[in-house]
């Protein structure tokens, strides 16, 4: 709970700075990429968050990583602030919260398209476009597979659920036939 509040404060500060500079999406993609990098590299993350590692060693390691990554100067400064404040462990939460703020500010919503087989990029784009039109917001979908579906697709966007699966269609047809 405390980590979440801390992450929200840091994310809000970064978001406001990015908004002032007109770099909301660029900063967001840099923060997400770095959060993913540190999540995938346990040794590096542990070294940067361990209390036994000296602040100088941590700073040098972070500088080397950020230089190689070639991220925005604002992101570099932000991560240095997190490191100096010993709050580097909240970076994944900061990235999530920043993404939520950026989505909210741009009128974008995220969702999931679930199908029995992998959806092509074209199919995902068409579904996203149809949902964007229906919801009057930009819808960004990620695809996932669920072998228990017979066919069709199920989409979740926020708290909305769109079910165009074959199973649901068959159930509706059955109900329609039994009710006359």
Report how many domains make up the chain: 2
Q: What is the pLDDT at residue 27?
A: 94
Same structural domain for residues 174 and 127?
yes
Q: Are 43 and 130 found together in one domain?
A: no
Q: Which residues contact 166 (CB under 8 A, 6 or more apart)?
A: 149, 150, 151, 152
How deeply is 60 buried, as exposed, middle or buried, from its count of CB atoms within 10 A (0-12, 13-18, 19+)?
A: exposed
Query: Tens of pLDDT along 120-161?
Result: 889 889 989 998 898 888 888 888 898 888 888 888 888 888
Same domain, 159 and 75: no
Structural domain span for residue 159: 108-179
pLDDT in tens, 26-67: 999 999 999 999 899 888 888 888 888 888 998 899 889 988
Indicate if the pLDDT at residue 10 is higher than 70: yes
Among candidate residues 104, 125, 155, the one where a domain is terminated: 104
The structure's pTM equals: 0.72
């Amino acid at each position: 709970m405390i980590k979440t509040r801390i992450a929200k404060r840091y994310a809000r500060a970064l978001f406001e700075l990015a908004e002032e500079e007109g770099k909301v999406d660029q900063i967001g993609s840099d923060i997400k990429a770095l959060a993913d990098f540190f999540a995938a590299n346990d040794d590096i993350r542990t070294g940067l968050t361990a209390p036994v590692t000296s602040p100088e060693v941590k700073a040098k390691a972070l500088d080397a990583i950020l230089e190689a990554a070639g991220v925005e100067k604002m992101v570099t400064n932000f991560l240095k602030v997190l490191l100096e404040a010993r709050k580097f462990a909240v970076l994944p939460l900061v990235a999530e919260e920043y993404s939520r703020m950026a989505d909210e500010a741009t009128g974008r919503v995220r969702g999931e398209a679930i199908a029995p087989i992998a959806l092509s990029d074209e199919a995902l784009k068409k579904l996203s476009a149809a949902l964007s039109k229906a919801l009057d917001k930009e819808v960004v979908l990620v695809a996932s597979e669920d072998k228990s579906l017979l066919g069709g697709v199920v989409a979740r966007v926020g708290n909305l659920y769109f079910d165009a699966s074959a199973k649901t269609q068959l159930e509706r047809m059955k109900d329609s036939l039994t009710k006359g």
